[in-house]
A and B are shown apart, each in its own frame.
Chain A
C-alpha cells in the first residue's frame, strides 16, 4: 500500500534535510580540524608502512613483564573495589528499590556526572596528587567501574519481574529483605556477567594508564616513543594485543556459561 502523496513528500523532505545537516556538519568538522579526506589514504599508508617496518626487538620482553603484571593487578583491584562500591549504589539508582525519588535522582545524577569523565582523565588528575605509580590507576578504575557498573546493573534491576518483590512486600518485608530475596536472585547471573565485562574494559584501560603516570605497561609506551625505540614499541603493542585478546576470550567464555 502506497503512502499518501503529501506524507511521502514530507518524509522525503525530512530525509533530505537530515542528510544536508549531516553533510554540513561533516564539512565544518573537516574544515575546523584541518582534516582532508585524502588523509585517510595517506594515513593508512603511513600506518601500514609503520607496521611493516616494525622489527620487534624481543629483548624488550624482560622490561615489559613486571609492568604487565602490574597492569593486570590494577585492572583486577579496580574491578573488585569498584564492584563493592557500586553494590549499594545500584539499588539507590533503581526506581523499584530506591527509598525515595530524591535519593534516586541524586544517585543517578552523581553516576552520570562520574561517567562523563573518561577513566584516563581521573588517572591523570590523581597521579600528581596520589604519587606516580599504580595507586592513582587503581583509584581511577575504581571510580569509573563503580559508575559504569551501577548504571548497567540498575537497568537490570529495573527490568526484574515485579511479582516476587510485591509478594515479599505483602508479607511485610523491608527494603533490604526485598532486595536480598526478590531482586538479587533475579539479577545474579547478569550482574556477574557485567562485572566480567567491566573487567575487560578495565584491562584495556589499564594498559594505557601508565601514559599519565598511573602505573602498568602504559608508561613504557611513553618511554619507547621518546627513545624512538620502535623495536620495543612493537613488542609492547604485540603484548598488549595478546593480553587483551586473551582476557577477552576468557571473559566471553565465562559469560557464555553464565547466561
Chain B
C-alpha cells in the first residue's frame, strides 16, 4: 500500500525525458570513468606522506589561525594597501583601453557581425592568457615590482571588460540614436549624445566588478614577483611561519570582503 502510494506520488516521465535517461546514465558513467582514470594515473603522494604532512601541520596551522601573529599586522596592512592601489590602477588602465576595443567589437556599431569579428577575436585572445602568465612576462621583460603586476592586470582586464562593454553596447536602445540622426545629427553626435550616456552607468558598474576580481588577483601576483601582498605571504608559507601567514590571510579576507560589500552597494546605485 505504502509503496503504491509512493509510486503514485511521482508523475510518469514524459517520453522525451525517458529516452534521454539512457544518455544521462552514459554521461554519468563517462564522468565517473574519467575520474577513476585520472585518480589512477595522477602522480599522487603516498598515503603515509600525506598523513605525515597532515599530522605535522594541521594542528599547528589551525592553532595559528586562532592565534595570529599580531606584530605582522602593520606589514600585512601596508602590503595590502599596495595591492589595493595596484588593483585601482590596473582596473583603470584596463577600462580605458577596453573602451575603444569594445566599440570595435560591438556588432551594432560596426554594422554587422563580420566587421566586429576582429575586435571580438582580439578580446578572446587577451582573455585566454592567465594573468599570472602575463605577470611573468612583464617581470621578465620589465623587471619585478608592482608595475609588472599593474601592467598584467591592465592588459588582462581588457579581455573581460571589452567583452562586457561590447555586450552592453549591443543591447542599447536604438531610439535615441535614430532621433538624433533624424534631426540631422552626425555619427559623432549620435556617439556622444546617445551611445555614451546609455552605456556609461553599465560600464562603470562592470569596471567596479572587475576591480573586485582584480583585487583578488593582485593578492597572488606577488608570487611571481609582480608586487603586492603575495610576496611576503609566500615567503612566510615557505618558512611555515603559520602565525604570520594567518595574520596576512586575515587582512586579505577582511579587505576583500569589505571592498566587495562597498563595491556591490555602489554598483546597485549605478544601474
Point out residues on A near B: beta carbons under 8 Å.
25-26, 28-30, 32-35, 39-40, 42-44, 46-47, 49-51, 70, 73-74, 76-77, 80, 112-113, 116-118, 120-121, 124-125, 128-131, 133-135, 138, 171, 173, 181, 204-205, 207-208, 211-212, 215, 221, 225, 230, 233, 237, 240-241, 244-245, 248
Task: Answer whether residue B233 sits at the interface, using C-beta atoms and an 8 A cutoff.
Answer: yes
CA distance A130 to B79 in the complex (A): 28
In the complex, the chain B residue whose C-beta lies closest to that of A116 is B256
Task: Answer whether residue B141 sits at the interface, using C-beta atoms and an 8 A cutoff.
Answer: yes
Q: Which of B89-139 contact A (CB under 8 A)?
A: 89, 92-93, 124-125, 128-130, 132-133, 136-138
Chain A hits for B35, CB < 8 A: 76-77, 80
A26 lies within 8 A of B253 (CB): no
A244 lies within 8 A of B41 (CB): no
Chain B hits for A129, CB < 8 A: 53-54, 57-58, 61
Task: Please classify the interface of chain A as helix (H, G, I), strand (E, B), loop, or mixed, using the class held by over half of its residues.
Answer: helix
B44 lies within 8 A of A76 (CB): no
B49 lies within 8 A of A33 (CB): no
Known contacts A39-B147, A47-B141, A50-B140; decide if A120 and B220 are in contact (CB<8 Å): yes
Which bracket fits the contact residues of B? Answer: 35 or more
A221 lies within 8 A of B136 (CB): yes
The total number of A-B Cβ pairs within 8 Å is 172
Known contacts A49-B141, A117-B252, A208-B133; decide if A124 and B223 are in contact (CB<8 Å): yes
Q: Which of A77, A116, A244 contacts B257 (CB 8 A)?
A: A116
B253 lies within 8 A of A117 (CB): yes
Known contacts A33-B146, A225-B136; decide if A211 and B224 are in contact (CB<8 Å): yes
A121 lies within 8 A of B233 (CB): yes
B141 lies within 8 A of A46 (CB): yes
Q: Which of B127-163 contact A (CB under 8 A)?
A: 128-130, 132-133, 136-138, 140-142, 145-148, 150-151, 154
